[in-house]
A and B are shown apart, each in its own frame.
Chain A
Amino acid sequence: MEEVTRLTVSSLLLAGLYAVMAYGLGLIYGVLRVVNLAHAGMIMGGAYLTWVLHGRLGIDPYLSIPVVMGAFFVFGVVLYKGLVRFLPRGAAGGGQSLLLLFGVWLLMRNAAYLLFSGNDQAVRTGYSTQGLRLLGVSVSVNRVAVFVIALIALGALHFFLTRTYLGKAIRAVAQNPDSCLLVGIDVERVYALTFGIGSALGGLAGLLLSTIFAFNPSSGAVELLKSFVVVVLGGLGSVVGIALGALVLAFAESFSILVLPSFLTAAVGFVLLVIVLVLRPGGLFGQRVLG
């Protein structure tokens, strides 16, 4: 029973991180209809930027959030303006942008490899090893902090998308870009902004990840897959859908430890994906994202 409580708490905390990861991917896909494979590179890059800021300048990982998010926002906007803008979007150009962003990911991986070598790195702070009691089980401070920050980020994003002019413009463009042009929304600017926000979320996910797990230049592939699983599970409709998808994935992964050898947990996400696609191709909550 104590094992179950422990797994419940840890999957709940993990779900926050998954939701942030997935929202970056889902937002870009929902608005631009482009699957950002470079998202994996953003996550990896965010982790390394955090590591550099902490190791070289001594900035606490959680204090460097604005820097990391800002840097990846700019990177995303530049990526959009410099490359993605020139490709057809939507069903016709899906393959092209996919391969292009895949190329960008390879470049990012190679850059990280040249800069930091291929060794595993981790961000270690004074409180990395400290724990606290939660529901009768002890969890590390970092995991709780990551969860809280993820909740704040998702809340802020929800507020931004539903209450501000720009956020509403992004949602309008997602629904119908042509009509947006007619009513005077600068669609190109909204696209650039969306790509920036999605990238910033990728960077934030990398930052949060780096405080808990070790990483290396090829990190990000697994996280990309998990983000994708969450998007398929939860749909693109809302923050709530994404959060539920993240919960399902985190619980499935954590509880699989009870029945599966530990090296197979990474495969759980994929198996879950296939099961959902076979049984409910429209996603768990009916928000159709496929086809």
Chain B
Amino acid sequence: MRRLASWLPEWASPWAAAGFVVVLVALYALPLVVVLDPYTHGILTQTFMFVAAALAWNWLGGYVGQISFGHAAMFGVGGFVTARLLLSTDLPFFAAWVVGGLVAGVYGLLWGHPTLRLRGPYFAIATIGVGEATRLVATFWSSFTGGSSGISLPIPSGDFKQALYWYALYFMAAVVLLSYYLRKSRIGLGLLAIKGDVDAAGDVGVSATFYQDVVLVLSGIVVGISGGFYASFFSFIEPSDMFGFERSISLVLMGVIGGIGTILGAALGAVVYVILQENLIASYPDLYLGLYGLLLVAVILFEPLGLSGLLMRGARLVGYRPGAGVAAGGIGGAAATEATGGAPEEEPTLEEARP
């Protein structure tokens, strides 16, 4: 372990690296060792994709504390750009995903640069506007998106669905590594500082504008690639599904249910989301919004760190003390540790305090 650790950057934990490699190898070998029925195979593929998207949402929502209700915009842009490229050019599909992702990232920067100067709730509401405006434009721009009837993609040869499993796995692995890097490196500390207190972060030389723009572009690229992947996986996309408010909500839910601001949390959240979606929602399609609403309310009231918070409680029971980095999740910077129910605090600024 020690020798291996010397390979890694100093901020990386050898145990996390080992766990990552073990899980990755196990998932890689799974369809080779066990015969998976097409349904399970497809569900796993989708789960990998949603884990990647949820992690990307979490960079903005969890690391920087800017909750976005508009990520469907990037998901849809990525999906439709990919679909159009696959229909009209000879690009290989993975290249189309990347181009779709890049376009989505640029689109994210376009609306994100002005809106990211807003903090917290203001940013969140602005993103609702972004999502709705994008959805409207996409629905009416039918020469590009096919309008309400959507567009179908050419279905490649039979092995394609099988291959998508591994592509999704590689994609997820790359996003997990990037998440770990964004959390642990110098950039991660900068993001944490911005989340805690924007002004103080600015005072010590962390440029909130630059950092947030970078995170949003990266997040947009990954969510855009997820959208392109989704288009390839289902071979049919339509604007109301790709750009819908429900799509944005689903990313918020994955992040919050799993545990906002943590890597394991976002991944767990995506897994739980897919399980719920496939089992409960399919049987009770009328109840899904309410169920998600209930889950949100319950998580916020009882365990703001979501599933990863529950795991940490379990870990404490058996005597494990998580390090400061693990406990740095949570919704607002200090919110997780602060006593609840207090009156709004208005700390006098230096200016006001002076006589």
Contacts and interface: CB of A to CB of B under 8 A. Distances in A.
Partners in one complex: yes
Interface in B268-318: 286-297, 300-301, 304
B100 interface: no
Size class of the contact patch on chain A: 35 or more
A92 B338 contact: yes
Contacts of B130: 270
Given A110-B290, A270-B133, A277-B114, A87 B296 contact: no
A89 B344 contact: yes
A33 B344 contact: yes
Nearest to A227: B125
A35 B124 contact: yes
A87 B293 contact: no
B128 A88 contact: no
Contact of B346 (A90, A93, A281): A90
21 contacts: A88-B338, A89-B342, A95-B67, A98-B67, A99-B67, A99-B300, A103-B294, A103-B295, A106-B249, A106-B292, A106-B293, A111-B290, A114-B286, A114-B290, A177-B344, A221-B132, A264-B136, A267-B136, A270-B126, A270-B132, A273-B129
A84 B288 CA distance: 23
Contacts of A86: 301, 340-341
Contact of A228 (B117, B125, B289, B291): B125
Name A's interface SS: helix
B133 A35 contact: no
Contacts of B286: 110, 113-114
Nearest to B294: A107
Interface in A84-124: 85-96, 98-100, 102-111, 113-114
Given A32-B344, A33-B344, A89-B343, A106 B290 contact: yes
Contacts, number: 179
A141 interface: no
Interface stretch (B153-161, B182-190, B329-337): B329-337
B351 to A, nearest CB: 14
Interface residues of B, number: 58
B301 A266 contact: no
A102 B252 CA distance: 10
Given A105-B293, A113-B286, 12 more contacts: A37-B124, A83-B301, A90-B344, A92-B332, A92-B334, A92-B335, A94-B120, A177-B344, A263-B136, A274-B111, A277-B115, A277-B117
Nearest to A275: B114
A184 interface: no
Interface string A258-291: 0001011011011101100110010000000011
B136 A93 contact: no
A235 B119 CA distance: 16
Q: What are the 4 closest A-B residue pairs judged by CB atoms, nearest first? A: A106-B293, A110-B290, A103-B296, A90-B344
Contacts of A110: 286-291, 293
Contacts of B290: 106-107, 109-111, 114
A275 to B, nearest CB: 8
Contacts of B256: 99
A291 B119 contact: yes
Interface of B: 65, 67, 69, 111, 114-115, 117-122, 124-126, 128-130, 132-133, 136-137, 139-140, 198, 245, 249, 252, 256, 286-297, 300-301, 304, 331-335, 338-346
A225 interface: yes
Given A92-B332, A100-B301, A113-B289, A264 B137 contact: yes
B136 A266 contact: yes
B131 to A, nearest CB: 9
Nearest to B129: A270
Contacts of B333: 92
Contact of B132 (A33, A94, A222): A222
A186 interface: no
A94 B137 contact: no
Contacts of B297: 83, 100, 103-104, 107
A218 B289 CA distance: 11
Nearest to A117: B286
Interface string A179-215: 0010000010000000000000000000000000000
A265 B287 CA distance: 32
Given A98-B120, A221-B245, A277-B117, A88 B136 contact: no
A94 B121 contact: yes
Contacts of A95: 65, 67, 120-121, 331-332, 335
B344 A261 contact: no
B331 A99 contact: yes
A96 B136 contact: no
Contacts of B249: 106
A249 interface: no
A229 B118 CA distance: 13
A129 interface: no
Contacts of B344: 32-33, 89-90, 177
A285 B117 CA distance: 19
Contacts of A32: 344
Contacts of B121: 29, 35, 94-95, 98
